[in-house]
Every structure is written in structure tokens, then in C-alpha cells.
Amino acid sequence: MDKVQFTPVYNRKNRLRKNGTALIQIEAYYRRKKKYFTTGIYIAPDQWDNKRRKIKGNHPNGIRLNIQIRDYITKLENIELKQRQSSKPFTLQFLTEQSKDNHATNFISYFHQKTEKLSRQTKILHQATFGHLERYSPNINFESVTAERLIGFEEYLRNTKGLHPNTIVKHFAILRKYLRQAMESGLYDANLYPFGKEPLKGIVKKITTIREHLTPDELKIFENTEIPKDKPTLQLVKDKFLFAVYTGLRYSDMAELKPDCVETMGNIEWLKIIMKKTKIKVSIPISVIFEGKGLKIFRQYAGKHKEHSVFPYQRNDKANYQLKKVIELTGIKKHITFHVARHTNATLLLHNEVSVSTIQSLLGHKRLETTQIYSKVMNITILKELQKVSYS
């Protein structure tokens, strides 16, 4: 009876990552066909013994990682053996399907498996979290995900990377999500689950920050700033930022906006979408809000390029990088990102006496309290309300 031959292979694609490491995979050879299974382990070329097919002793965790690789091969062999003992047909495709949740030793590898079907933008956000974790603790396995390890990770994000507390909260929320999934699948020991317990409890707290926004005068400066004709990417970023101001859309929603999302009802054109983050259906009177400026930009781009979305695709971080260049041209001295456009939308609507409940509906907030944060931002709104009061 022919059996699968399992062999550890290093850097199969002959391509190193930016940090000079490459992936170790398990090659499964069966009936002249091959399948490759990731171990989630990345090492430098001088740490791999190609003759012995193992990690060299010069790697600080070489012994443990070699055991981890051997354990993974054993798991694959057990899947094969169990299927053959049942007298059912065995194929490499069956091995692939059965192994997806059976590689329980490496947390990073588990994460990569779980993010395969995420949308492009969400996948990028989650990859950022695990990129930080992998740099802090390479090849971390499930049994190493303890409260003490995560406390160190929080300190790393705060002190070494200099991240804002609220950004750290978001990273930890993503970690918590995947640990829960792994725990429910029996891959992670519930006794190790650190969230909601001491000493991790309360170590990362979200803080209320002043939400940066553009004032009415600053928005006019931004609108009137001319972009050099030889800088089409900057023009695109400027238009997308203004569209986000005029509609209040998050970047993730704007990135996947389709040309058919605008509908005409009566004499009003409505932008209708289901928001990715909250799953709430939002209808924005795009021909009315901000005097229809958003609709003008929409028509300028919809159906004018090869992609199915309204705007050509740009990663959020890349778009924010280009936005900085636009801000430099405006002379505005603020830290502006694409999410500032959403804050600007809300504060300017408040400034023009639109009710908080209406703004909540336009922004797709689940909770009124989230929208009320904006009412604390603009001093001019407070002044306008006080000026209406009669003291006689």
C-alpha cells in the first residue's frame, strides 16, 4: 500500500521576507502529486539544515520548533491512518481539508488559516495585529499565549512601537476573537484564556480622545487647494477624502462602493449601502447633503475605470500616506487621516444644527452615545446654542 511521504522543506519559493526569513512547509507527496502545508515557522537561511531537513542548533528555539514540526507531521500521518483504517478513499485533497483545524500548535499559522476568506480590507487590519505579535514573539504556539505573554506584548506595543492606547485596544480585540474561536474548536486550553481575568484585566483601557476634524474654514482651504496635474494619485486621494467628508462613509465602505448603489426616489438621489462594520443599512441623500458635492464626485469616478468599485482600489495605509502629501499642500497643521473625514462630516452637520439622532442614522451608529461624542467637539456649536437663549 502506497503511503504519503512527508518532508519538511524550507523557502520553497526561494523568496525571503523583508526581515530576512522564509517559511518552513511540510511537503506531502502521494501518487506523483504534491501538497504543501504551512508550519507557520519562519527562520533565516543560515538556521536551516537542508541535508537533515531540520532547524539548526544556532536557532534559540531550535529544539522546540523541531519538535513542533515533528508533531505536525505526526498529526498529518494520523489523519491519513484514520482514513485508511475506515476503508474510505484517501486523497491529498482530503488531507488538506482535514488538516485545516488540526494544526493546533502554532497560533500564527491558525490565524493565517482563519483569515483566508476575509475581505481584503479586514484581512489587512487583522494581519497588522498578528504582524506585531509575530515580531514580538516569533513562532508563538497556543500554550505560550498566556496572560504574562500578552502583558509583555502590550508593553511592546506601547513602549517599543509607540502605539496609542486605543490602537492597542483594537489589536487586543482581534487577538481575543481568534483565541475564543480556537478555544471553541478545542485547540486552545480554556484554563489559559487570559481575557477578563487578573492580571490582564484592565491592563489595556480605551480612553476618550478629542476627535480631530476640519473646521468649516479648513474644509474650504482643502477644497480650494489645487493639485499639480502631474500628480493624479494625489488628486484621487483628495477627491476620495472630500467624498468621505460629504457622505460620512468609513474608508472600508467607500473602498467597496459600487456604481449601482445610488438610487433615485422622487427628485432625490440616495446612496444606499450596508455598512461593513455594523451591518446597518444606511441611506444618505447624496444629492442634498453638503449641497450634492458628494454626488458630483461619485459621477466623476463611477464606471470610469476597469475595477467594479466606484474608486480605484488603494490600501487604507497607502491612501493615508498620500493624504499627508495633500495636507502639506493645503498648509493645514493637523494630523489628518481618512477617518478624520467621517469626524468632519459629523461635526459640520452639528455645526449646521442637524440633530444628533439624524446624524446617528446617516453615520450608521448603533448607539446614540457614539454620535453624542461629536457634540463635545465643536465649541462653535455650543456658542450658537447659547446665542439663541433669551436671558430677559
Give per-residue pLDDT as tens, 187-238. 777 777 888 666 566 566 655 555 688 989 999 999 999 999 999 999 999 9
- Residues 258, 371, single domain; the answer is yes
In a domain, residue 155? The reply is yes
- Residues 342, 226, single domain; the answer is yes
DSSP letter (8 states) at residue 192: G
The residue out of 64, 79, 103 marking a domain boundary is 103
The pLDDT assigned to 167 comes to 85
Single pTM value for the model = 0.55
The pLDDT assigned to 199 comes to 57
Show the domain range for 157. 112-192
The pLDDT assigned to 82 comes to 86
Q: Which of 34, 35, 44 is nearest to 11 (CA)?
A: 44
* Number of Cβ atoms within 10 Å of the Cβ of 45: 12
Sequence-distant (6+) residues with CB within 8 A of 258 are 308, 309, 310
d(CA 182, CA 101): 9
The pLDDT assigned to 201 comes to 60
In a domain, residue 300? The reply is yes
- Residues 326, 381, single domain; the answer is yes
- Residues 234, 380, single domain; the answer is yes
- Residues 375, 232, single domain; the answer is yes
In a domain, residue 207? The reply is no
- Residues 143, 186, single domain; the answer is yes
Question: What are the two backbone dihedrals, phi and then psi, of residue 141, each rounded to the nearest 5 degrees?
Answer: -105, 170
pLDDT lower than 50: segments of the chain: 104, 392
> What pairs with residue 182 in β-bridges?
none
The pLDDT assigned to 100 comes to 63
Torsion, Cα of 212, 218, 220, 224 (10° steps): -110
d(CA 143, CA 92): 29
**Total tally of structural domains belonging to the chain:** 3
In a domain, residue 202? The reply is no
The pLDDT assigned to 369 comes to 63
